């Protein structure tokens, strides 16, 4: 090779190296420029099917967050228990390995004891009172309480917003019109001491059974009934075994959208604002979706031979008072009294 050709190839090689370096440098500089942030993806998991109104609201939440943030924040949703049940998801939030989840306030009582106040029978007078509390100042204070355990230690949670989960009612294989009709009946409850106390106060025999095993237990007569909201009764097909639904509205336990406190602290004030605005919009949508799902569920049950009983709730409330009094102590009593002081429409 001649000396001239050698100089040419060396020069060409140096030129390629310099060009690559320049583009690499400019690319990094552009990415680090103000206003040019990479999209951040938040992981959100829940245990409900994709047909559930809660899942629909969560997908709307994800869509609105991406829109409000101009694509800077997005949410990857994992439904149907892909990342574990509610307890497992809450534990992952505390560790910071999961960013967001939806859980029942009843389950939250196992992590932050004060949340057991929501399980107290007839704590809400009716639906209007329920939303007056949750949408008002006290509802915000209750979300803030989630950040701290009763010991004073940080819980690892950031309360974001509430979702509706309706009222819980007794559905059984025999007619229940008054509390005395529950006497001796084996009623499936959540593994919740307050719920078990309530069934016992009403004369029934509380029987905790995992949700996934309840259909078989009802069919085989292991239990005589259970208690839940209409959409859950229909989605689980429990109406095939229980042909009586007593609308006693003994509890209204909200769902709560939660975020990992570790992840929340990494967001800027603007990002936190986007997230809270998107969550609030999703809450309002979820209320409407839940009402439609409840109405549809009632229609399905009627068409499948379920007798809907409008009972005297005052009788059930009076009979459940021993369970109320047993569980009113300390912080729970204080919160209970605050909730009772809220007027409907506030």
Q: What pairing do the DSSP bridges indicate for beta strands 73-78 and 40-45?
A: parallel
Over residues 67-115, the pLDDT tens digits come to 999 999 999 999 999 999 999 999 999 999 999 999 999 889 889 999 9
Identify the pLDDT of residue 7: 52
| DSSP code of residue 191 | S
State the Cα–Cα distance between residues 106 and 186, nearest whole angstrom. Answer: 21
- Count of structural domains, the chain: 2
At 18 the pLDDT is 47
Shared domain for 218 and 334, answered yes or no, is: yes
* Residue 208 near residue 195, CB atoms below 8 Å: no
Shared-domain flag, residues 130 and 238 = no
Q: Which of 188, 230, 193 is nearest to 213 (CA)?
A: 188
Which residues of the chain fall short of a pLDDT of 70?
1-38, 346
Task: Write out pLDDT tens, residues 14-40.
Answer: 554 444 444 444 444 333 334 445 689
Structural domain boundaries enclosing 99: 40-165+253-293
- On whether both 100 and 148 belong to a single domain, the answer is yes
Locate 207 and state its tokens: 């029987």
176 with 272, same domain?
Answer: no
**What local confidence, expressed as pLDDT, does residue 252 receive?**
97
Q: Do the domain assignments include residue 182?
A: yes
Tell whether 227 and 172 lie within a shared domain. yes
Instruction: Mark whether 96 and 154 lie in a shared domain.
Output: yes
Query: What is the 8-class DSSP label of residue 148?
Result: B
Q: For residues 132 and 221, what is the distance between their CA atoms, to the nearest angstrom?
A: 40
pLDDT at 99: 98
pLDDT at 28: 41
pLDDT of residue 345: 73
- Dig out the tokens for 281 from the structure: 């919009």
CB of 245 closer than 8 Å to CB of 169: yes
- The answer to whether the pTM exceeds 0.75 is yes
Say whether both 241 and 109 belong to one domain.
no
CATH number for the domain harbouring residue 283 = 3.40.190.170
pLDDT at 1: 52
Q: Domain check: are 100 and 227 in the same one?
A: no
**Do 79 and 141 fall into the same domain?**
yes
């Amino acid at each position: 090779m001649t000396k001239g050709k050698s100089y040419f190839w060396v020069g060409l090689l140096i030129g390629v190296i310099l060009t690559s370096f320049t583009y690499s440098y400019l690319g990094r500089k552009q990415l680090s420029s103000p206003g040019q942030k990479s999209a951040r993806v938040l992981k959100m998991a829940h245990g409900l099917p994709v047909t559930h109104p809660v899942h629909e609201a969560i997908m709307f939440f994800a869509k609105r967050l991406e829109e409000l943030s101009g694509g800077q924040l997005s949410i990857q949703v994992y439904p149907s228990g892909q990342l574990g049940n509610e307890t497992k998801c809450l534990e992952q939030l505390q560790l910071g390995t999961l960013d967001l989840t939806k859980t029942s306030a009843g389950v939250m009582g196992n992590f932050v004891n004060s949340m057991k106040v929501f399980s107290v029978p007839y704590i809400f007078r009716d639906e209007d009172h329920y939303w007056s509390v949750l949408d008002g100042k006290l509802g915000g204070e209750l979300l803030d309480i989630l950040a701290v355990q009763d010991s004073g230690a940080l819980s690892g949670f950031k309360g974001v917003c509430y979702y509706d989960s309706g009222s819980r009612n007794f559905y059984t294989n025999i007619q229940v019109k008054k509390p005395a009709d529950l006497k001796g009946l084996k009623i499936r409850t959540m593994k919740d001491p307050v719920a078990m106390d309530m069934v016992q106060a009403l004369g029934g025999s509380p029987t905790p059974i995992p949700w996934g095993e309840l259909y078989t237990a009802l069919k085989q007569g292991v239990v005589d009934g259970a208690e839940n909201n209409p959409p859950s009764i229909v989605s689980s097909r429990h109406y095939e075994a229980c042909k009586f639904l007593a609308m006693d509205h003994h509890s209204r336990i909200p769902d709560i959208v939660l975020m990992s406190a570790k992840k929340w602290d990494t967001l800027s004030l603007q990002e936190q604002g986007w997230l809270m605005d998107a969550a609030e919009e999703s809450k309002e949508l979820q209320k409407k979706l839940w009402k439609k799902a409840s109405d549809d569920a009632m229609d399905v049950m009627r068409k499948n031979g379920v007798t809907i009983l409008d009972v005297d709730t005052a009788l059930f409330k009076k009979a459940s008072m021993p369970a109320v009094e047993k569980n009113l102590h300390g912080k729970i009593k204080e919160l209970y009294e605050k909730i009772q002081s809220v007027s409907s429409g506030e």
